[in-house]
Chain A
C-alpha cells in the first residue's frame, strides 16, 4: 500500500471511529431542559384513582383546574372566567375562559368539565360531600355549565379549588368517562405541560413538554392560582432511588433539582456552592399515630388517651428529621399555621409518662397485645413506629412490632380482623399540611365508622360537627366549630399527632423562580 493509501485508510478509520463513538450529541443545546428528581416514581398517570402525591404533581403539570387555592388560602378562578350563584344558593353557573384547549387541539367544553367533576366527586372525600348535594349538571352552550343543588353547599369553590389529592383536574370527556376505579391510559389534559407518553419509562423517567397553546392567566402565580407561565421547554422527572447517588448527581450537575433530599445529606450538599437548599413548603407535613378503634385495647378511649398523654413529639421529630430547623411541635389536629389550627385541648398531649402510666392503669388495660405494623421501606413511618414501640413498652404495654414493606402494611391495615388474627393495632403515617387543613378535607379526623379511613372510629358528635362546619356561613364560625372539633378529638382520640416537619428541597443555583408552595409547581421556574 502506498503512503497516500495508508493515510486515506487511517483517515477513514478515524472518521469511522468518530461516527461509532458519537461525540456527545448537543442534545439540550437549543432547549431549556429541567431535570428533576421527584420524591417517588411516577407509576400511574391517573390522579383520580390514586391519591399519591407524585401523581397529583403530575396532574398539575398536565391538567388545569376550574379554581385554585392561593398562598392566602383564598380560592381563585383558574379555568373559570366568571361565575354566579342564585339567591337561594341552589344553582351555580360557571363560564370558562376563552381559548382553553386540550393537548390534542380540541376546545375545553362544558361536557368535559361535567364528566371530570363527576369522576372526581365519585372518589374524593370532599367531592363526595359536594356530590351528595348535587341535583344535576347542565351544559349551556360552548363555555358555560351549571350545577343545580338539592341543598346549599357553601364550600362549592373550596371543593373545586382543592389544592391536594384528589384534585378536581379537568380531562376530556372521553377520558373522564372512565370508571373512577379504573386507571386512565391517556394523559391528554389542558394544562401548561404535555405528557410525552412515548418517553415514559416507569421507574426511570417521565417527560413533559411545554404546551405552546396554553393560555395562562394574567395574575402573578400564587400556589396553584394565578398565571401558569412556563419558562422551560422540557421537564424530565428522573427517578434516582438512592439518596446518596441523587445528591451526587445534583452536585455534578446531572440534574437540576432534587425534591426531597434526606436531611442527613444536607450538610454535605450545602458545601457545594452551586447548590441551594431551601424550604419551599410552608405547611410541611403532619406525622401521626393511628389507632385501630375496632379491637382491644384501643377500642377503649381511655387507653387511647393514656397513649396520647405519653407521646412526646420531640422524640418522634428527632427520630424522623433530627434537625430542629426543619420541624416543630404541633399539637393541633389541623395543620399548624393555618386558620383552623388552635391550642384547644393540647394539655391532653403533655408528654407526661408518669401521668400516662397512671391513666393506663385506670383505663382497664388488661395486657392485650398491641400490634404495630411498620413499613421499613418508608423511613418516616418506620422510625415513628420504633419510637412508639419503645414508648408503649415503657408504659407497660404488651407490644409486637411487625416490620414489613409498605405494600404489606397497606394490605394488612385494610383488615378489620383482631390484631392477633392478621389485623393490627397501630400504624404510623404522615399527611401533607394541605390535606388536614380543615374539616372538609381531614379524613383521619372523621368518625364515620366502617366507611372511614383505616382505624374506623365511630363518633356521631364529630360527624355532626363536621356537617355543621360544611355549612357554616362565615370564616369566624368555621374557626369556632373547628375548635369544638379539636376539643372533641382530644376526648375521643381518633389518632395522635406526632409533630409537624418540613422537607427542604435542593436545586442548582442556575434555577430560579420556584414557587413557594405545599405542592412543587414547574411554571415560573427558569433555568439559566
Chain B
C-alpha cells in the first residue's frame, strides 16, 4: 500500500511536466498579446512593442519556457503580468472560496443524491422512482446559471432571505460564511445530485438483484440494514468513482457559479487570466489543477479498499 502511494505521488511529476509543456505550448501558439492588453485601446504599435520587450514576451519559445520552468522548479510560479502580484498570492487569495464551494456542494450533493438513489432503486418502478428520475433529468438539463438566477430571484430578491452575491471567509464566522454559500451550493449541487443519484440507483439495482441480498431478506433482516449494510456498501465503488470524478469536475466547473454569484474563486480568476492572456497566472493555476486532479484520483483509488476488501494495492 505504502509503495503504491509513493509510486502514485512520484507519477505526478511526469504528469505535471507534460501538462506544463502542453499548457505553455498552447499559450505560446494561441493568438493574443498581453502587452497589447496592458497598453490598452489607445496605444500605438510602438507602445505595445516596448511593453512586450520589457516583459520578455519577444523572447523565443525555448528561452521563455526554460526561464519559467527553472523558476517553477525553485517554487516560484511567477507574477501576474498585470497586477505584478505573485501567482501564489493570487491563488492563495482565491483558493478558499473555490474549495469552500466545492466542499459544500459535495456534501450537499452526496447527502441528497445517495439517499435518493437508494430509495429509487429500492422502490424501482414506483412513483418515487419516477419522481427521482424526473428530478435527475431536470438537474442535468437546467444550466447552472439559469438555476442561479431563479434562486437569486426567489430567495434573495423576492423573499430577502439570503444575499445575492459575494463570499465571506469562514474566519468572519460560520453563519455569515454559510449564508453566502447556500444559493451557489444549491445551484451547483443540483447537477451533481442528478449525476450521483442516477449512478447510485443503477449500482444499487445491480446489487439488489444479487443472491446474497435475497438471502439477507430471507433471513428476515430489516430493510434498512439490507439496503445500507449490504447493498450500498457493495454498490459503493462505482458511486465513489463518480463522486471522485465529480470533485475533479467541480474544481474546474465552478466558473459559471462563481461568475453568477460573484464569488472570488479560482474559476473566475482563470477565465479572467485567459481573457487577458496573463500567462503566468494561467500556467500556475492549470499546474495546480493538474496536481489536485492527480491527488483526487489517488484518494479515490485508496478509498476503494475501504469499501471492497478484495481490492488491495
Binding site for B on A (CB under 8 A): 20-25, 41, 43-45, 49-52, 123, 125, 165, 179, 181-183, 185, 200-205, 238-242, 244-246, 248-249, 251-252, 254, 377, 404-408, 410-412, 414, 416, 429, 431, 435, 443, 450-454
Once bound together, how far apart are the Cα atoms of A22 and B54, in whole Å? Answer: 48
Q: Interface code B40-56, partner A: CB below 8 Å = 1, 0 otherwise? A: 11111111101101100
B264/A242 in contact, CB under 8 A: no
Known: A203-B264, A450-B45, A453-B43. 12 other contacts (CB 8 A): A21-B176, A202-B83, A205-B264, A239-B262, A248-B164, A254-B166, A407-B275, A408-B32, A410-B41, A414-B36, A453-B42, A453-B44
- Chain B nearest CB from A411 CB (Å) reads 4
A44/B166 in contact, CB under 8 A: no
With A51-B41, A204-B264, A241-B268: A411-B36 Cβ-Cβ less than 8 Å: yes
A242/B174 in contact, CB under 8 A: no
B47/A185 in contact, CB under 8 A: no
Q: Interface code B138-157, partner A: CB below 8 Å = 1, 0 otherwise? A: 00000000000100110011
What are 13 A-B interface contacts by the 8 Å CB criterion?
A21-B175, A49-B39, A183-B84, A201-B93, A202-B83, A204-B262, A238-B166, A240-B165, A245-B152, A248-B157, A249-B166, A252-B164, A416-B45
Query: Which residues on the A side are within 8 Å of B276 (C-beta)?
Result: 43, 407
Once bound together, how far apart are the Cα atoms of A368 and B239, in whole Å? Answer: 59
Instruction: From A49, A203, A241, A245, give the contact of B164 (CB < 8 A).
Output: A245
The 3 A-B pairs of least Cβ separation, nearest first, read: A22-B173, A204-B264, A21-B175
Instruction: From B32, B33, B36, B44, give the contact of A451 (CB < 8 A).
Output: B44
Residues of B2-47 contacting chain A, CB below 8 A: 31-34, 36-47
Once bound together, how far apart are the Cα atoms of A147 and B139, in whole Å? Answer: 69
Query: Which residues on the B side are within 8 Å of A238 (C-beta)?
Result: 166, 262
* Most chain B beta-carbon neighbours within 10 Å: one of A245, A248, A406, A454: A245
With A44-B38, A45-B83, A452-B44: A410-B275 Cβ-Cβ less than 8 Å: no
* Most chain B beta-carbon neighbours within 10 Å: one of A52, A202, A204, A431: A202
B51/A202 in contact, CB under 8 A: no
Instruction: From A179, A185, A201, A254, give the contact of B84 (CB < 8 A).
Output: A185
Instruction: From A22, A49, A404, give the contact of B51 (CB < 8 A).
Output: A49
Q: Interface code B255-282, partner A: CB below 8 Å = 1, 0 otherwise? A: 0000111101000110010011110000
Once bound together, how far apart are the Cα atoms of A264 and B282, in whole Å? Answer: 34
B262/A245 in contact, CB under 8 A: yes
Instruction: From B53, B259, B264, give the contact of A201 (CB < 8 A).
Output: B264
A410/B37 in contact, CB under 8 A: yes
Query: Which residues on the B side are within 8 Å of A20 (C-beta)?
Result: 173-174
Once bound together, how far apart are the Cα atoms of A443 and B45, in whole Å? Answer: 13
* Most chain B beta-carbon neighbours within 10 Å: one of A201, A203, A404, A406: A203
- Chain B nearest CB from A53 CB (Å) reads 9
Instruction: From A43, A249, A406, A443, give the contact of B83 (CB < 8 A).
Output: A43
Residues of B41-94 contacting chain A, CB below 8 A: 41-48, 50-51, 53-54, 80, 82-85, 90, 93-94
Decide if B172 is an interface residue (CB 8 Å cutoff): yes
Query: Which residues on the A side are within 8 Å of B40 (C-beta)?
Result: 50-52, 165
A377/B275 in contact, CB under 8 A: yes
B163/A51 in contact, CB under 8 A: no
A242/B83 in contact, CB under 8 A: no
Decide if B160 is an interface residue (CB 8 Å cutoff): yes
Once bound together, how far apart are the Cα atoms of A80 and B174, in whole Å? Answer: 51
Instruction: From B90, B157, B166, B176, give the contact of A22 (CB < 8 A).
Output: B176
Query: Which residues on the B side are within 8 Å of A408 (C-beta)?
Result: 31-32
B39/A51 in contact, CB under 8 A: yes
